[in-house]
Chain A
Amino acid sequence: MSIPTPNGPAVETFWLTKRFGRTLAVDNLSLKIPRGSTFGLLGPNGAGKSTTIKMLMGMLSITGGQARVLGVDVATDPVQVKRRVGYVPEAHHIYRWMRVGEAIGFCKSCFPTWNDSRCRELLDLFGLDVQKKVKHLSKGMQTKLSLLLAVSHEPELLLLDEPLSGLDPVAREEFLDGVLQTVCDRGQTVLISSHMLDDVRRLADTVGILYEGKLLLQGHLESLLGTTKRITATLRDGVRPANVPDGTIFQRTVGREWTITVRDFSPEKLQQVRALDGVENAVAADLGLEDLFKDFIRGCRTEKVLESGSV
């Protein structure tokens, strides 16, 4: 039996690996999410986000390594993990023939820590009708029901797997409200994987970028945004210089315009670029989360990433 540690990180994985036949879905992932933080897991389709979350939830066998959730080894005691974690999957498979009220009753019977008042509060917030059958709910309503079922037992950790895809803006906002209310009231730890980078930026304080099963980087969101800059310069002859500053994630040239995205930016790096032969008008600018994410992924794809650029 594993002994839960109350103050350890909410999620900790050690060389977590998942293989489906020949394909490596998650590759030696070592992740650490402290309690009380909101972690945004970003990555293109097929990067291994859902696979990772399912392994953390004890719903997928682990090929190698270890995953500890709330101090419990998932492989040895998945039931305890499920009791203390709330999970909103990407696709909802709540029994379609149940009424909303019945689905709530079913879940309530499974969790000893079920909180009725929280449940009612969310029912009101989401405007869910307990008499309605699950199969007659819209996609947005199903997602909200899924969130309601995931947070009403007061979990210590909330795993949200692409919860916002396919929701209209109003439903998305209501969903985020629901998540925020639980985060505010209980200081829950949240892991959210999403493509909606704007929403991730609102919610998350820490982010990690997953690409082909590997964690490219993990860090505090605002400091990451603050220290990553994009330098734009003009190339006199349109020829890209051979050497670039340390920490260059991605570079490209369009005609004479040369753009490089640099991690751990410092004024010296800008000076370095200015000092290069044939480079004029080098200016550094901030970039948003979306551009940062895209540049990281593009950088990996073109395999132009330098050793210092990868974690």
Chain B
Amino acid sequence: MNIDPGSHVPIYLQIADAVRAAVATGVYQPGEPLPSLRAMAVEVHVNPNTVQRAYDELQQEGLVGSQRGRGVFVADRGTSVARLAAEVGVRRGLEEAVRAAQRAGMEPSQVRDLFGAVLDRMIQEGRQSS
């Protein structure tokens, strides 16, 4: 799990993104516990309060549930929630790209065309490599 403190994305969101990705790809299966606050804080070298905030965020989404005294668990429908919620992270990335386009003074239609071209190329590359 990698955190970039130099990024302008809040650290708790970075942690939430990373956990979401881990659940979506099956690193943590439904019903399994997430690392404790302490373990996670020491693992990614951040303040435990920040980890708490990330877990709160995930709990609100319904990705994880907490059991009193036993920590935080991946919810039964965690995997599907994670896939849905991954959209959030993707959207943030796209926003960043659109902002860059705005700075460069590109027209909306130009951006749309570019996005389509990039998507097509990457899908093709994915097919070739697999």
Query: Is there direct touching of A and B in the complex, by C-beta distance under 8 Å?
Result: yes
Question: Distance in Å from the Cβ of B94 to the closest Cβ of chain A?
Answer: 15
Residues on the A chain within 8 Å of B50, using CB: 205
In the complex the two chains form, what is the Cα distance from A183 to B49 in whole Å? 10
Q: Does A244 contact B (CB under 8 A)?
A: no
Residues on the B chain within 8 Å of A38, using CB: 47, 49
Residues on the A chain within 8 Å of B85, using CB: none
Question: Distance in Å from the Cβ of A26 to the closest Cβ of chain B?
Answer: 26
Q: Does B38 contact A (CB under 8 A)?
A: yes
Total count of chain B residues near the partner, CB < 8 A: 23
Question: Distance in Å from the Cβ of A277 to the closest Cβ of chain B?
Answer: 19
Contact in complex: A180, B47 (CB < 8 Å): yes
The answer to whether A177 and B99 touch (CB under 8 A), given A38-B49, A201-B11, A202-B3, is no
In the complex the two chains form, what is the Cα distance from A180 to B49 in whole Å? 11
In the complex the two chains form, what is the Cα distance from A152 to B33 in whole Å? 31
Q: Does A204 contact B (CB under 8 A)?
A: yes
* Interface size class, chain A: 20 to 34
In the complex the two chains form, what is the Cα distance from A290 to B5 in whole Å? 10
In the complex the two chains form, what is the Cα distance from A290 to B12 in whole Å? 18
In the complex the two chains form, what is the Cα distance from A297 to B9 in whole Å? 22
In the complex the two chains form, what is the Cα distance from A120 to B41 in whole Å? 21
Bits for B18-42, please: 1 = Cβ < 8 Å to A, else 0.
0000000000000000000110011
Question: Distance in Å from the Cβ of B45 to the closest Cβ of chain A?
Answer: 5
Contact in complex: A283, B41 (CB < 8 Å): no
Contact in complex: B103, A180 (CB < 8 Å): no
Of A37, A177, A184, A286, the contact of B37 (CB 8 Å cutoff):
A184
Contact in complex: B103, A232 (CB < 8 Å): yes
Smallest CB-CB separation from A185: which chain B residue?
Answer: B38
Contact in complex: A290, B47 (CB < 8 Å): no
Residues on the A chain within 8 Å of B6, using CB: 198, 201, 288-290
Contact in complex: A184, B41 (CB < 8 Å): yes
Contact in complex: B103, A281 (CB < 8 Å): yes
Q: Does B62 contact A (CB under 8 A)?
A: no
Question: Distance in Å from the Cβ of B5 to the closest Cβ of chain A?
Answer: 4
Residues on the A chain within 8 Å of B48, using CB: 180, 183-184
Q: Does A121 contact B (CB under 8 A)?
A: no
Contact in complex: A281, B47 (CB < 8 Å): no
In the complex the two chains form, what is the Cα distance from A226 to B9 in whole Å? 9
Within 203-243 of A, Cβ neighbours of B (below 8 Å) are at: 203-205, 222, 225-226, 232
In the complex the two chains form, what is the Cα distance from A37 to B41 in whole Å? 15
Question: Distance in Å from the Cβ of A25 to the closest Cβ of chain B?
Answer: 29
The answer to whether A222 and B11 touch (CB under 8 A), given A177-B45, A202-B45, is yes
Q: Does B81 contact A (CB under 8 A)?
A: no
Q: Does B69 contact A (CB under 8 A)?
A: no
Smallest CB-CB separation from A287: which chain B residue?
Answer: B8
Residues on the B chain within 8 Å of A183, using CB: 41, 47-48
In the complex the two chains form, what is the Cα distance from A173 to B45 in whole Å? 8
Contact in complex: B41, A180 (CB < 8 Å): yes
Residues on the B chain within 8 Å of A225, using CB: 8, 10
Contact in complex: A285, B99 (CB < 8 Å): yes
In the complex the two chains form, what is the Cα distance from A204 to B10 in whole Å? 12
Residues on the B chain within 8 Å of A129, using CB: none
The answer to whether A283 and B99 touch (CB under 8 A), given A222-B12, A288-B6, is yes
The answer to whether A281 and B45 touch (CB under 8 A), given A199-B5, A286-B8, A290-B6, is no
Q: Does B7 contact A (CB under 8 A)?
A: yes
Contact in complex: A201, B45 (CB < 8 Å): no
Q: Does A176 contact B (CB under 8 A)?
A: yes
Q: Does A266 contact B (CB under 8 A)?
A: no
Given contacts A202-B45, A290-B6, 15 further A-B contacts (CB under 8 A): A38-B47, A173-B45, A180-B42, A181-B42, A184-B37, A201-B5, A202-B3, A202-B5, A225-B10, A232-B103, A281-B102, A281-B105, A286-B8, A288-B7, A289-B6
The 10 closest A-B pairs by CB, nearest first: A286-B8, A184-B38, A198-B5, A201-B5, A222-B10, A202-B46, A288-B8, A184-B48, A283-B102, A202-B5
Can you list 9 pairs linking A and B with CB atoms under 8 Å apart? A180-B48, A198-B5, A199-B5, A203-B46, A281-B103, A283-B102, A285-B103, A286-B8, A288-B6
